[in-house]
Structure 1
Amino acid sequence: MDHGGHAGLAASSAALVLLLVVLPSLGLAAYLFGAGREQRAQGWSPWRTAAFAVGVGLICAAMLPPIAPWAHGDLRGHMVQHLLLGMFAPIGLALGAPGTLLLRQVPVATARAITALLATPPLRILIHPITAALLDIGGMYVLYLTPLYALSQGNGAVHVLLHVHFVLSGYLFTWSIAGPDPAPHRPGMGLRLAVLFLATAAHAMLGKIMYGYGYPRGVAASRAEVEAAAQWMYYGGDLAELLLAAAFFALWFRRRAGLPELLAGRATAAN
């Protein structure tokens, strides 16, 4: 690799540390501050706090040694990093209910403005489970079945955007399916369950395609390495989607039982 390549790699690595280590850590600090205030005021579940902290911890772990260097030079390491960033960490973040915490902390007028913004047509489309699934699972098909993954290996900007996309699309999909935060005009539980099942099947199918046909192509990886990475995707994805399904059904059963949501206080006023 030439000097320009080394410089580009260093710049992309620094950007990723800033975006996916420093900023999430600051977000966790803000979350802990808000959760402490809320606990003193009207109560806040320590399980929510623990879930959010685990989500941030998984993001940081994926972007630091030993996983980050392994992911840079090995497709198997990349897949482990992908699973942490795009599937496991978003479950913790969403179950932490950061939106509910935010709505409780800000003035009522601000909370109403946030809720109204989520109800606008563009954002209603963006946060719909079908859109979220297309961005998340569909994005994986584009990444691994086209030359995009090979491009990301040599292009620092694409490399950074790819990792940020993992986190954002994974969080959006998780939140749209089983997030406890309030969302105006959220589709019913039946549609969300159907999207979850279809997304799970599509993810499993992608793992099989990668294993059977040697995708992604155009990368310096042996067939055995590609097959092992596909197995990480298949079985790791199954575990993450099982956890997401468990969160979904827990939310569903709580609603059917008539138990109160964690939406009291200013969040309720915002609606």
Structure 2
Amino acid sequence: MHNEPIYHGNGNAYELNLFIPFVLLLIVYMFASFRSNRHYKRWPLYRTICWVLGILCIAATVAGPLANRAHMDFTAHMLGHLLLGMAAPLLIVLSAPMTLVMRKLHVKRARQLSKILKSYPIRILSDPMFASLFNLGGLWILYTTDLYSAMHHNIVLYFFIHLHVFLAGYMYTAAVISIDPTPHRTNFIYRAIVLFLSFASHGILSKYIYAHPPLGVTKTQAEMGSTLMYYGGDVIDIVLIYILCWQWYKSKKPMAWGRLSCRGGL
């Protein structure tokens, strides 16, 4: 593995600067939720907690002990992958940032944003199958080519790969569980099928890494990291399954009660 993080030369001041955008994101979200409470129904506390935890997951992967260790330890890198590409997107989606934005925007601006969300490009990006291919396809390229080794020697490449991992994970999670209002929401059967295929692809990739370590990764490190990827991914997958099934149940419940009422039930 690589002996030194690519940004170590700048010292602690550089790492502190990396945390500034995340602190600003925390402040902006809390301020927006506080202001929205004056005009709308009180913003749920659990959504704010999800936002805070999601931002902390992202911050931990780009600065601090875990980020530094990830350059030398594939297991630490894989923990960062789980936080950045799976846990953080799930938490950010659950915080419903787009809903909060729409609550704070002026009516005219909200309509303009709504028009953009209804556009054809957004329809493609928010399709679960496309989002899944964008998400998992990037991971397959990262770990089955020389890209993993190359990113540790190029700060720009390192940044864009991490940005892709989060954005792809967020797009995929949002497409599957759809917490924020979306004009292109697909049916539950389609999302469930994509979810199942994605789980399978993620599991196969972890097994591939176990048998074929990326360039610069020892066999022992690959086995430990891929095992963490496999079982850690399963934990987050279970949460996704639960949320999707709960949403599916809620969508059918009113219909079931309606049929029961028509038949002389409760």
Measured in 2, the distance between the counterparts of 1:174 and 1:162 equals: 18
Rg: which structure is higher? 2
Partner of 2:160: 161
Partner of 2:24: 26
- Residues 148 and 128 of structure 1, relative CA distance in 2, 3 Å threshold: same
Give the one of 232, 240, 248 matched to 1:236. 232
- Residues 82 and 7 of structure 1, relative CA distance in 2, 3 Å threshold: closer
Report the secondary structure of 2:186's partner residue.
Answer: coil
Partner of 2:263: none
Measured in 2, the distance between the counterparts of 1:71 and 1:228 equals: 13
Pairwise CA distance, 1:139: 0.8
- Residues 139 and 186 of structure 1, relative CA distance in 2, 3 Å threshold: same
Q: CA RMSD in A?
A: 2.3
Identify the structure with bigger relative contact order (alpha carbons < 8 Å, sequence gap 6+): 1
Partner of 2:243: 247
Partner of 1:83: 82
Equivalences, count:
250
Measured in 1, the distance between the counterparts of 2:130 and 2:9 equals: 34
Look up the equivalent residue of 1:198 and give its one-letter code.
Answer: L
Counterparts of residues 1-271 of structure 1 (less than 5 Å) = 10=9, 21-41=19-39, 42-212=41-211, 214-216=212-214, 218-219=215-216, 221-258=217-254
Measured in 2, the distance between the counterparts of 1:107 and 1:10 equals: 45
Pairwise CA distance, 1:246: 1.7
Measured in 2, the distance between the counterparts of 1:33 and 1:163 equals: 27
Look up the equivalent residue of 1:97 and give its one-letter code.
Answer: A
- Residues 22 and 127 of structure 1, relative CA distance in 2, 3 Å threshold: farther
C-alpha contact 1:52 1:96 (8 A) present in aligned 2: yes
- Residues 150 and 251 of structure 1, relative CA distance in 2, 3 Å threshold: same
Pairwise CA distance, 1:17: 7.1
Pairwise CA distance, 1:245: 1.6
Look up the equivalent residue of 1:37 and give its one-letter code.
Answer: R
TM-score (norm 1): 0.85
Partner of 2:258: none
C-alpha contact 2:6 2:155 (8 A) present in aligned 1: no
- Residues 191 and 148 of structure 1, relative CA distance in 2, 3 Å threshold: same
CA offsets, 1:213-245, max 9 Å, x none? x231x21x3211111111111111111111122
- Residues 258 and 72 of structure 1, relative CA distance in 2, 3 Å threshold: farther
Pairwise CA distance, 1:169: 0.9
Measured in 2, the distance between the counterparts of 1:22 and 1:193 equals: 38
Pairwise CA distance, 1:23: 2.4
Measured in 1, the distance between the counterparts of 2:49 and 2:176 equals: 20
Pairwise CA distance, 1:51: 1.2
Report the secondary structure of 2:181's partner residue.
Answer: coil
Pairwise CA distance, 1:152: 0.7
Report the secondary structure of 1:154's partner residue.
Answer: coil
